[in-house]
Structures are given as structure tokens and as C-alpha cells.
A and B are shown apart, each in its own frame.
Chain A
Amino acid sequence: MNQAVRAIWTHESTEVIKTGSWRLALPAYVNLPAPCHKACPVEGNIAVWIQSVENQEYRDAWLTLIENNPFPAVTGRICHRPCEDSCNRGQLDEPIAIRCLERFVGDLAIDNGWAFPETAASKTETIAIVGGGPAGLAAAFHLRRMGYAVTLFDDQQQLGGVLRYGIPPYRLPKDILDAEIQRILDLGIDVRTNTRISSQTDFENLRAEFAAVFMATGAAVPKRLPQLDYSQPWVIESATYLEQTNSGDHAQCGERIVVIGGGSAAMDVARTARRQGKEVAVICLETETAMPAQRDEVLEAMDEGVTLIDGVMLRSVTDRALKGLELACVKVEFEAGAERGEFSVNSIAGTEFTIDADTIVAAIGQDPDITTLQDSLDVEAGLVRVDEQQQTSIAGVFAGGDLVTMQRFVTVAFGFGKRAATEIDRYLRSSTSASDSTPEQAVSTDMINTHYHPQAARAKQQMVPVAERQVSFDEVELALPGDEALAESQRCFSCGNCTFCDNCFDYCPDMAIKRENGGYRVNDDYCKGCGLCVRECPTGAIVMRQER
């Protein structure tokens, strides 16, 4: 008798059961922006190039850097580093030393003579850039790389603007600056130095001759204190002082110098004067921690023997001839206003005191020179008015840098140069402006699984000993050694940027993550939506998304 026996063994795979139907949300690889990227004035892809450093692919790191900033060796020294303030790692131990790493890569490029990649195919238009400071040079670089011909005008003998004539060599050595400027000029830029666009006719000629104009003449006019008689030989403007000393000349001044101001320029003057053996005091309205100068500049100045008298206002100066000057001062309560540069002060009665000095250097900020521009362009509160595309009231004329903002940071100016190039390109190609999609939220610390990031101390910035600093204009901050740079790069969370660590793949209980084309793909047939891959991701590169 032939009776069918019921199978007691399995003969099919569970793969016929599509467990994806259990799911409420699906993981997605999203590549959200890192907070450092969002904070960066040039929108640098910081997590990406740090990952290249970690992989010891230094040239790739540099190529990523220069996409947004042709001056990594400069910003690697003097950037005000808003990236580090926003760094998620700061919530765990200390932020990544991004600026040190940037300098490391920037210096490698100079040492190895790396050149910029080929520019795009030549375009017919020529763009005029007025001002060879940070904004103008950055714009020249980006426009040239897009294939435009660029003519760059500057009223000084050499290019660089504030980078050359404002920032002292012990913070930014001239050979570094020269190397990074030369690399831009090597792209083929028509440079017209010692050329001032000073009249309305000059300006009209530019408009007629060039397809577009970018104005970036900076802020070169010193603000003036009503308490000071600027006709006296014992009053010197900070810009004059720095320009003279940075070009190798010695400014004429006495032995006891009082610097007025709390910003970077005041620190630069004070530290320069210390290097010339002067006795230096800085007086500023703000309290020490509220000073607009970068914190480490203030600390380094004090290390070098600068006396800081904070929370103080100068009332008047008496010239006592051979006995020198007597500065009448009073303590004040300082309150910052809503905008940078706005403030109010109240003197505190009974706190009057005097300071002796021979020379006063005023470093209370500078304004753009808009005397000729205001005949042609709309201005507002001492700045040239621009729209969101950085275009002025005249079509085809763009402006950026200190001419349009009170945020007086070099990196901000680099960012203006970059955006101006993009907007000029859009204007000339008549393409629509940047997409109006809502800006993406940056990766937050709670999206990072910090288990995979063991505590590790931040790389320490090594400095030249104070005694040597006081007698030399050589660079103060030392380079990070290669092994320390590597260790520092390994501290980076790589927020939002997948490092292909395989955690999502390894921790999926349902084999629903597939390795594909050098990355990963979620197989939605089987993903049950547990979220383990998201939870165990060390970079915040995956998020759970509700499905419709």
C-alpha cells in the first residue's frame, strides 16, 4: 500500500516571510551636516577631511579643504574657529583641535608644493575684483576655478590686505601667506596692485569694462575716540602701527605704551610692542572674558608681559611734557548690545584713577571707506547694502567682507569671497538662486553612540617659550607633529559622515543591511524597524524615518 507520509522536516526558507511588514519606521542613511560644518563661515566639510587625515590620505584632505577655502595654512593659524565651539565631542571631553589639524594639512601642501587641480573650461567673461584682501583673494580663486578670467585690483604694493598689513608675523608668518597667495596667482590672475578705485569715474569704467564686479575693499578707516587729540604725535592708529611694524619699519613711539581696545588688533599691537621691548598696558571697556579678541590671544598677550586693565574707560589725556602722558580713567560697567559693535557703558563713581604713558595706540575698530561708493551704491549704517545674493543696489556689482558686515573675522571674509563667486556665476549664467529647501538639522550629540569613542585628551597646542617670544617675531604656535595629528583625527566623531565601520551591518538581527557599492543599503523586505543600527552608529549617519 502506497500511503503519502507527511514531511516532518522543513523544506522552505523563512525568506518567504517578509518581516518588513512588521515595521513602523525604516532606517535611512542621511548624511546630515556636522555641527562644525554648519558653524564654519566657509562651510568646510570638516568631518570629511579629518577622516582623510585619519586614513593618512593627506592630499585628499587638502583637496577637500580647498574646495571651500584656498587658505588652509592661514585659517589653520588665525581662524576664530567657531567649528570648535560647536563640536559635539565637547560634550564628551574636549572639542577636536580642528584648527591645528587644518594647519597640519595646509603646511603639508606648502611643503610638498601641491598645486590646485585643473580649472574648469574657460569662460568668456572677465570679472573685476576690487580689494586683494581675504574676501577678494578667495573670490578670485573660486571664480578662476570656475573658468572665469579675473582681474584683481589692490591699492597696496602687495596682495593680502589685513592678512599682510594687519596680522603680525608671529601669528601668521609671511612666507606662509606668500605661498598660499602665489598658489592662487598661479591659476592665472591679472593682478593690478598700487591701483586705487577712488572715484566714481573709476567705478563706472569698471562696470563698463567687466562682466561683473566684486567689491571687497575691507574696513581701512580707523574709528576715532573723541577723548583723543589725533593731531598729537603721541597718538597712533593701530592700523598705522601694525602696517609699519609688519613691513619691518619701526613706528616712532615712547617706552610706555597704552593700547586702547579689546579686540584682536589691540592684542596684535600690544604683543608687537612687547617684542620691541616696550612696557605695554591694554585698557578696554569689556571685562576680560567678554573681550572681542580670541581668548587665547588675550592669554598669550598676558603671558608675554602685557598688562591688562579691563572694564575701564579713558576720560582724558594730559600731556605733561617731559613727564609723559597722564591718562585719566574710570571703571565702567559694560553691556554688549544686540549687534556686534553695539554697547552701552556706565561709569562707576569713585573709581577714577590715572595711568602714565608715553604713547597711546588706539585700536577700537575700523570702518569701510564708503565716501566714493555711496555716490553709486546704497549704503546702510556705514556698510554697503547687499541682498541675499550679495548683490549691491547695482545689478552685476557684488560686495563682501568687511565692506558689508560688522563680523570682522578673516574666515568670514573668505566665506564672503566664496559665496560671491557662486552668486556671480549664477548671475552670469542666469540660473536660479540657491534651492529654498529648509536647512537640515545638524547631527546632535545624542545621535552619536559615544561608547565607540573612548575618552582621549585633546592635542595640546605647543608654544614657543615666553622668553623667546618676547624678543622675536617668529611664529609663536608650533606645528602639531604627525603622530599627534593622526591621534587627534581619530578623536573626531565624524558626525553625519559614515566611516564604513560595519556596526549597522554587524548589529542587524535580521540581515537587512546589505553592503553595496562601497556603502550600505537597507533591505525593506526584512527590516523590522528595531533601530539597533541607528543606536549603535558611532557617527549619527543613520536615522529612523516614518514611512508613509
Chain B
Amino acid sequence: MLRSGHAACPGCVLALSLRHILNTLGPETMAVAAPSCAALICGAQPCSSMKIPVYQTTLESSAAAASGLRRALDTKGKQDTTVVVIAGDGGTYDIGFQALSSAVERNEDMIYFCFDNEGYMNTGGQKSSATPLYASTGSTPAGKLSKKKNLTEIMAAHEIPYAATASAAHLADLVRKVEKAKGIRGTRIITVLIPCLPGWGLPDDEAIATARLAVDTGVFPLYEVEEGQRYTLNQTTRTRPVKDYLMTQKRYRHLSAEDRDEIQLMVDRNWTRLAERSATS
């Protein structure tokens, strides 16, 4: 469902994730793409890498545009066509946030994919509200001083039918979550962590290894929340310290041991909270 010749950087796992997501969704799918790396991968006029119709809209309006597309299809009796949004973290956490929150509040029938590479990476790597604490970006060269927004928790607070995190390093899990989301009606959101090779300062062959470390260290736990209530932690053990994840990325190169300890504590707290919710729900 994704064609070769697209414009993603060599080794980009956004393209890889998109490939497996589209293959799982199948041809009865229409997409709205917010300006993002994902939109660039979809293709520039007159070429498309996607074997489905894609509507490229503005940064702030993708969830609203998808709502409209959904209603148009429903009117034409095409309830079986899956409507999806493909957007980056800038178009989700920041600029498209209002439209997204409203669409979730209306429980619009769509799957929203947020490809989270923790910054505005196709415009040269500026910080977004998805950029983690102390990560260096073009606009925060000495490291960002505020924490990353927790999108999945915000969505859970909307009592959205399905919110999940996923990773290209766990392809079977990603495919399972897409299939599960496809079988649910209402708004569903899947956030896929995309280690950005130029933006994070990684070699071309290291995106999967980094995505795997993000899960193994607990920095990016794989989990699902249903109806804002039922939590499921998909990988229930952390096997490595956060340091292992931080040390391979240039954006964290300036960190002191104390900085790394602080991040470890933050990850520990988040993990404990998730584990408790997962155990009690």
C-alpha cells in the first residue's frame, strides 16, 4: 500500500511504520495528512506514494477535515471506509490540538495516527511540546527546560474509546493495535514513536535499535487505554537503564550524570503510575 520512491530519509522508520499500518488497514481507507514528514512521504505533486486517497490539509485542521470526510462518506453510504489522520507531533500536540480535542469530544469515527518524532523535524528540527526534557533542538540548543506533554493521558482524559502507543521496533504489536483500532468505532488514536535520524543525531541504521531501547528502558512504554479506564501495559518489564537510551543520541550529548538521573527518576515515576493503573484496571 506504500510505494517505493518516497522522500523519507534513508532508514526512516516513519515510512516503515506507515508501510505496515497501510498494509494492515487495506485499500478501503482514506487519509487526511497534516503538513509533516508523513505528508512529505505521501508525495509531492504530481506523485503519490500511497495507494489510497489522501487529502493534504493545513497543520491546525486535520482532525476537523477528517470529521468532514467521515460525514461525506457516511452520507454516500460508505460507512465501511476507514478514515485516518496521519500527522506529526507538531500537528498533534501543538498546532492541531484544538481540532483534535474537539473531534475526540464529538467522538468522530476515525483513527488518528500521531508519528511522534519529538520536534518539528522537517523544518530543521525545532522543539515542539512533544520534545522531552533536556533534549537539544534547533530552538533549544542547550536543551529544552520543560517536560514532554503526555498526549495519551490527555486523550484518555477525554475518555476516548481507544488510545495506544506503538513502536516500529515491535511490528507485530503495532499491527495488532491497528487491527484492534480498525474494529472499534469512534475516535481512536495511536501514537508511534519515530526516532528521527537527523533530528536526534543517529546513524542511518539505528532507528529500530533506538525505538527498541525506548521501550526496554521504559522511556516510551507500550500500552493501551480503553474508554479512558482500562489500562494494559504491553511490555511489563524494563530491562535497561534510561542512560542506555540517552547515550546513543546526539541530542542528549550535553547531559550531565545528574541530568540523566533526573530523567531516570521521571521515567520511574511514570512507569510506576502506569504499572499501577494497568494492575488495577
Contact = CB atoms under 8 A, between A and B. Distances in A.
Interface of A: 7, 10-19, 22-23, 451, 506-512, 523, 525-526, 528-532, 534-536
Interface in B1-47: 2-16, 19-20, 43, 45-47
Contacts of B20: 506
Q: Chain A: interface secondary structure?
A: loop
B10 A508 contact: no
A510 B13 CA distance: 10
B239 to A, nearest CB: 11
A511 B2 contact: yes
A451 B209 CA distance: 9
Interface of B: 2-16, 19-20, 43, 45-49, 171, 204-209, 212
Contacts of A512: 4
A511 B15 CA distance: 10
B15 to A, nearest CB: 4
B47 A14 contact: yes
Contact of A509 (B15, B46, B171, B212): B15
A10 B46 contact: yes
27 contacts: A10-B46, A10-B48, A13-B5, A14-B3, A14-B4, A14-B6, A14-B43, A14-B48, A14-B49, A15-B5, A17-B7, A17-B47, A19-B5, A506-B20, A507-B16, A508-B16, A509-B13, A511-B4, A511-B19, A528-B10, A530-B11, A530-B204, A531-B11, A532-B16, A532-B204, A532-B208, A535-B205
Contacts of B14: 509
A528 B46 CA distance: 22
A13 B48 contact: yes
A501 to B, nearest CB: 12
A19 B6 CA distance: 8
A512 to B, nearest CB: 6
A511 B41 CA distance: 13
A363 to B, nearest CB: 51
Contacts of A16: 5, 47
Contacts of B207: 532
Contact of A15 (B3, B19, B212): B3
Contacts of A528: 9-11
A317 B103 CA distance: 100
B5 A17 contact: yes
A10 B11 contact: no
A530 B8 CA distance: 11
A530 to B, nearest CB: 3
Given A13-B5, A14-B43, A511-B19, 13 more contacts: A7-B46, A10-B43, A14-B3, A14-B6, A19-B5, A509-B11, A509-B13, A509-B14, A528-B11, A530-B205, A531-B11, A532-B11, A532-B208
